[in-house]
Structure 1
Amino acid sequence: MAVNVPGLVVVVIFYVGVLAIGIWASRKSKKAEKSCAGTKSEVTIVGGRNISVLVGVFTTTATWVGGGYILGTAEVVYSPKQGLIWAIAPPAFFINLVVGGMFFAKPMRSKRYLTMLDPFQHRYGNMFTAALLLPALVSDILWVSCILAALGGTMSVILGLSSFISIFISAGISILYTFLGGLYSVAYTDVIQLFFMFFSLFLCIPFLALSPAVTGVSPAAHLNQSNANAWLGKLELADAGKWIDEMMLLSLGTLAYQALYQRILSAASSAQAQITCFAAAVAVFIMGIPSVVIGAVAATADWNQTAYGLPAPFERGEAGKILPLALQYLTPTWLSVLGIGSVAAAVMSSMDSALLSSASMFTQNIYKSTLRKQASERELQWVIRICVLLVGLAGMGLAFSGESVFALWLLSTELLYCIILPEFICVLFFSCANSYGAICGYVVGLLLRLLSGESMLGIPPVLLFPGWREEDGVITQHFPYRTLAMLCSLVCILTVSKMMDVGFRQHLIPQSWDLLGVFKQKMEAEEEEEERVYMTQLLS
């Protein structure tokens, strides 16, 4: 396929513009370091806590509206085996941000944390915090690989560039401006990227609807075709468990995502953090509309009337590329170029957040707190930069796996949902949770998830839940096994914590068995307090 030179020029101009804004924001970051009361690393991680509400809404929206969101939603709506009913991302992310604003923003921002691992470190110590970083790090790498894979596929369709070149250049630019400016560069580049996404994606809708190859996307028009209800989809009772599981996964899983709290903690106050979440929830839902329309149009299109021809994309195994294919063959050339720009913007706006997310947690909660407690601010900034580079390179390596964008997207959230979310809920809202319960909950959540199997990683299921099926030699679970793992972990944390608390306080368990020192210090402090109160009463 020949390279689309005019399209390539437009994309290069867009990339240069984004990089220029990132460099400008990095200079703004350096000025903030001089004027901000906080440390340099605080400016890098949470922007000195002075990111405005408007910029906060833009950067939160742009982070959630990534390549997985845009391409994954279109892929699901287009796929005959799924359809609109399975396009759960827009409502799920709406719920996610509303719940985050209602219940999580205030307790996190009011305590002036720097990362979402801070409350774990304060209650459980450094070792368990390091264990929690592992699933968070893997999730970020999978997120990066997902969105880079989305971009590589899009550019190969529209511009004729190889996936390797597309992924390498886009990742390099995201790494560079995140490397230079931290959250300031991420936030301000997100603003321009979101504007570009909104303009180009919504501009595509009327051109797609007027394409000669499209007969109409209304349900009534579609019912008369041989592939009736293909884009609407239907939910069988046997698939209800899987649908509920995926909805819960995307609705609640990213409540344990550092990128969300990076935005919440960068706000000037708890109220501003909540407003940011609520406004972004609406914006994210609206940004899902073009992907739904593109998927529906592609499902109703007569591909034989286009240069693409037959068989259709689904029969060729190219459902994951349906958005760029629709833009390439159902819209004018200049508009398809704008479309590739929107995907590139979506990818970079999410990738930079994932890069900074892992780098922030490792630097603040592992390197500074455990490995190098006396590290200088300059040293910490270089650790953040090196982490950004390493996570970016790891994500690039996985981006060539060729898996479904939607599947990679779900997998990136599973570790957050099954392992970190129950821990996060307990450490924020249940004072009874302790290290023993947290460790047991971690093991239970991880074990149940691994025993349920994962076809993408070649892990066969050991536990077969009701409703499982075997298709083409691959076993799929239709029971909400992810949600079961999350709930079992949550119950385990609270139950074990309470049992250990009662056991040590009632002397049912010898004090010498308190290997983690959870109750020894606590009970000594309580005894000292009781003695102090007693002496005060005697003296009075």
Structure 2
Amino acid sequence: MAVNVPGLVAVVVFYIVILVIGIWASRKSKKVEKTCAGSKSEVTIVGGRNISVLVGVFTMTATWVGGGYIMGTAEAVYSPTQGLIWAMGPPAYLINFLLGGLFFAKPMRSKCYVTMLDPFQHRYGNIFTATLLLPALVSDILWVACILAALGGTMSVILGLSSALSIVISAAVSIIYTFLGGLYSVAYTDIIQLSFIFVSLWLCIPFLVLSPAVADLSQVVHLNQSNVNSWMGELELADAGKWADEMLLLALGGLAYQALYQRILSAASSVQAQVTCFAAAGTVFIMGIPSVVIGAVAASADWNQTAYGLPPPFERGEAGKILPLALHYLTPTWLSVLGIGAVAAAVMSSMDSVLLSSASMFTQNIYKTTLRKQASERELKRVIRVSVLLVGLAGTGLAFGDDSVFALWLLSGDLLYCVILPQLICVLHFSYSNSYGAITGYVVGLLLRVLGGEPLLGIPPLLLYPGWREEDGVITQYFPHRTLAMLASVTCVISVSWLVEQGFCRQLIPQSWDLLRVFDGKQEADADEVPVPGEEKNIILNTKL
């Protein structure tokens, strides 16, 4: 395929604009650091807790509206084996933000934490916190790989560039401005990126629907019976367990992402953090509608009337690229270029957040508290930057060659859902949870998840749940095994913590057996009243973002 020179020029200009805005924002970050009375590294991580509601909504929405969300939703709607009923992203993310605002924003922000791992560090100590960083880091790297794979596929279709080159260039731009400016660069670039995604994708919809190759408009919009099986999809009783498992994974797994709490903790108050979550719930749902329409149009199109020809994309194994294919073959060239810009913007708006979240947790909860307790602020900023670079390189390396964006998108939240979410629920809402229960829940959740297998990673299941099927030599679990692992982990944390507490407090277990020293007088008191750095009212700065 020949390179689309005008499209390439437009994308390069867009990347330069984003890079310039990111560099400009990094200068603003440095100015805030000079006026900030607290830790300078916290300005990089949580922006000095000055993010306004409007900017917070933009950056929170942009983080979730990534390449996986846009392309994965279109892929699910288009796929004959799935359909609209399996396009879980928009409703799942709406639920995610509503629950985040109701049950997680206030307890996190009111304690003035810096990262999602802070409550674990205060309750359980440094060693257990380090074990929680591992699944969070793996999930972030997979998320980076997912969104870069989405962009690589899009650019290869529309611009004629190699997927590998597209991935490397886009990753480099995101890494550079996140490396320089931290949360300020991320927030400001997110505003531009989200605005561009909204305008360009919605602008494509009329051209797609009115394309001569697409079925009659009334059939697409009014869900005519002839199209129900092609893109509406069906949910059979035998598939209900798998559907519920994936829906809950997306809806609840997002509550265990550091990227979510980075926005919550950057708000000026607990109330503002909650309002940001509630507003983002609506915007993230609206941003998913164009992808649903694109998937439906692609499923209703006669590809033989386009230059793509037959067989259709699904039969060629290109369902994961259906969004760029639809834009390229069903819209004018200039619109397809806008579409590639939308996907590029979505990729960078998510990637920068993921890079910063992993770097923040490692620097704040591992390097600063365990490896180098006397580290200077200058040293901590360097560690954040090096961490951003390493996570970016790791995710970029995994982005090559994966065909299903939807599958990688689901996998990125898998460990968070099964391992970290149960821990977060218990540490925030069950004051008696302790290290013994937390360790037990961690092991049980991780063990059950691994025993369930993972086809995408080639891990065979050792524990077969009811309803499993073998298709083309690959065993797929149709029982909600991820949700079972999550619930089992929560149950273990609560029950073991309570039983151990009763055993030691009632002297049923000798005090000498308290190897983790949870129930000596001082630590038991600290478990209920967590020491936090300062009061909320003292950290709001005069400068507003």
TM-score (normalised: structure 2): 0.95
Cα distance in 1, alignment partners of residues 221 and 357 from structure 2: 46
1:174 maps to 174
Once the 2 structures are TM-superposed, how far is the Cα of residue 38 of structure 1 from its aligned partner?
Answer: 2.2
For 1:55-454, list aligned pairs within 5 A: 55-216=55-216, 218=219, 223=224, 225=226, 229-454=229-454
Gaps of 5+ in 2: 527-545
Aligned match of 1:511 = 511
In structure 2, the partner of 1:459 is: 459
Report the alpha carbon displacement of residue 224 of structure 1 after superposing the two structures with TM: 6.4
Residues in 2 aligned to 1:260 and 1:79: alpha-carbon distance in whole angstroms? 30
The separation in 1 between residues aligned to 2:252 and 2:188, in whole angstroms, is 27
Secondary structure in 2 matching 1:288: helix
Report the 3-state secondary structure (helix = DSSP H, G, I; strand = E; otherwise coil) of the residue aligned with 1:116: coil
3-state SS of the aligned residue for 2:413? helix
Check the 8 A contact 1:223/1:229 in 2, yes or no.
no
- Give, in angstroms, the shift of residue 216 of structure 1: 3.2
* Aligned-pair Cα RMSD in Å: 1.3
8 A Cα contact 1:216 1:222, kept in partner: no
SS in 2 for 1:475: strand
Q: CA deviation at 1:229?
A: 2.2
CA gap of 1:212–1:451, structure 2 versus 1, over 3 A, is same
Shift of 1:281: 0.6
C-alpha offsets along residues 365-404 of structure 1, whole Å, 9 cap, x if unaligned? 0000000000000000000000000000000000013241
Distance in 2 between residues matched to 1:305 and 1:95, nearest whole Å: 40
Amino acid of the residue matched to residue 356 of structure 1? L
State how far apart, in whole Å, the 2-side matches of 1:434 and 1:475 are: 37
**Who wins on radius of gyration, i.e. which is larger?**
1
- Please tell me whether the aligned partners of residues 53 and 275 of structure 2 are also in contact (alpha carbons under 8 angstroms): yes
Shift of 1:502: 1.1
Does residue 33 (structure 1) correspond to residue 5 (structure 2)? The answer is: no
Question: Residues 210 and 438 (structure 1 numbering): CA distance in 2 closer, same or farther, change over 3 Å?
Answer: same
* Change in 2 beyond 3 A, CA 1:29/1:82: same
CA-CA distance at 1:37 after TM superposition = 2.3
1:504 is displaced (CA, Å) by 1.0
Name the CA distance, whole Å, in 2 between partners of 1:357 and 1:220.
Answer: 40
Between stretches 247-256 and 514-523, larger displacement belongs to: 514-523
State how far apart, in whole Å, the 1-side matches of 2:452 and 2:22 are: 42
Conserved 8 A contact 1:259-1:353: yes
CA–CA separation in structure 2 for the residues paired with 1:524 and 1:343: 50
What's the counterpart of residue 535 of structure 1? none
After the TM superposition, list the runs of 4 or more consecutive aligned residues in structure 1 that deviate by more than 4 angstroms.
Answer: 219-225, 522-526
* Residue 18 (str. 1) matches residue 7 (str. 2): no
Give the Cα–Cα distance (whole angstroms) in 1 for the partners of residues 191 and 351 of structure 2.
Answer: 14
Q: What SS is found at the alignment partner of 1:409?
A: helix
- Matches of 1:362 and 1:4 in 2, distance apart? 41
Aligned-residue offset at 1:228: 5.1
Distance 1:74 1:210 in 2: 18
1:447-494 deviations in Å (ceiling 9; x for gaps) = 000000001111100111111111101111111100000000000001
Moved more, 427-436 or 213-222: 213-222
Q: Secondary structure at the match of 1:356?
A: helix
Give the fraction of aligned pairs with identical amino acids, expressed as a percent: 79
Shift of residue 221, structure 1, vs aligned partner: 7.3
Question: Counterparts of 1:411 and 1:429 in 2: how far apart (Å)?
Answer: 27
The answer to whether the 8 Å contact 1:222/1:229 transfers is no
Secondary structure at the aligned position of 1:519 is classed as coil
Query: How far apart, CA to CA, are the structure 2 residues paired with 1:56 and 1:36?
Result: 20
Which one-letter code corresponds to 1:54 in the other structure?
A: L
1:524 positional shift: 8.4
CA contact (8 A) 1:216 1:297 kept: no
Q: Distance in 2 between matches of 1:389 and 1:506?
A: 51
Query: In terms of mean alpha carbon deviation, does 342-351 or 514-523 score higher?
Result: 514-523
Code of the aligned partner of 1:109: R
Give the Cα separation in 1 of the matches to 2:195 and 2:524.
Answer: 57
> What's the TM-score once normalised by structure 1's chain length?
0.96
One-letter identity of the residue aligned with 1:421: L
Paired residue secondary structure (1:400)? coil
Measured after TM superposition, the shift of residue 36 of structure 1 is 1.9
Give the CA deviation at 1:204: 0.3
Could you tell me which amino acid in structure 2 is paired with residue 391 of structure 1? V
Give the SS at the match of 1:373: coil
Give the direction of change, closer, same or farther, for the CA distance of 1:523–1:172 in structure 2 (3 Å limit): closer
Query: Counterpart in 1 of 2:538?
Result: none
Structure 1: distance between partners of 2:292 and 2:214: 15
| Per-residue deviation, 1:215 | 1.1
Task: Say if 2:97 and 2:277, in contact at 8 Å, map to a contact too.
Answer: yes
Which residue is 2:533 aligned to?
A: none
In structure 2, what is the Cα distance between the partners aligned to 1:432 and 1:343?
A: 45
In structure 2, the partner of 1:530 is: none
Provide structure 1 residue ranges, at least 5 long, that are not aligned to the other structure. Answer: 527-540
In structure 1, what is the Cα distance between the partners aligned to 2:300 and 2:223? 7
Match of 1:533 in 2: none
Deviations 1:391-425 (A, max 9, x none): 00000000013241011010010111000000000
Distance in 1 of aligned mates of 2:224 and 2:292: 18
Alpha-carbon deviations, 1:94-120, whole Å to 9, x = none?
Answer: 000011011111111111000010000
**Residue 236 (structure 1) shift:** 0.3
- Taking a change above 3 Å as real, the CA distance of residues 34 and 458 of structure 1, as seen in their structure-2 partners, is same
Q: Which amino acid aligns with 1:8?
A: L
Cα deviation per residue 1:76-130 (whole Å; 9 max; x = unaligned)? Answer: 0000000001111100000000110111111111110000100000000000000
Deviation at 1:520, TM superposition (A): 2.1
- How far apart in 1 are the matches of 2:164 and 2:299? 29
Deviations 1:248-279 (A, max 9, x none): 11110010110000000000111111111111
Which residue does the alignment assign to 1:538?
Answer: none
Write the distance in 2 (CA, Å) between the matches of 1:483 and 1:415: 11
CA distance in 2, matches of 1:268, 1:318: 45
Structure 1 contact 418–486 (Cα < 8 Å) conserved: yes
Measured in 2, the distance between the counterparts of 1:65 and 1:519 equals: 44
SS of the residue corresponding to residue 231 of structure 2 reads coil
CA shift at 1:509, angstroms?
Answer: 1.4
Describe the shift of the 1:524–1:499 C-alpha distance in structure 2 as closer, same or farther (beyond 3 A).
Answer: closer
Task: Read off the aligned partner of 1:133 and give its amino acid letter.
Answer: L
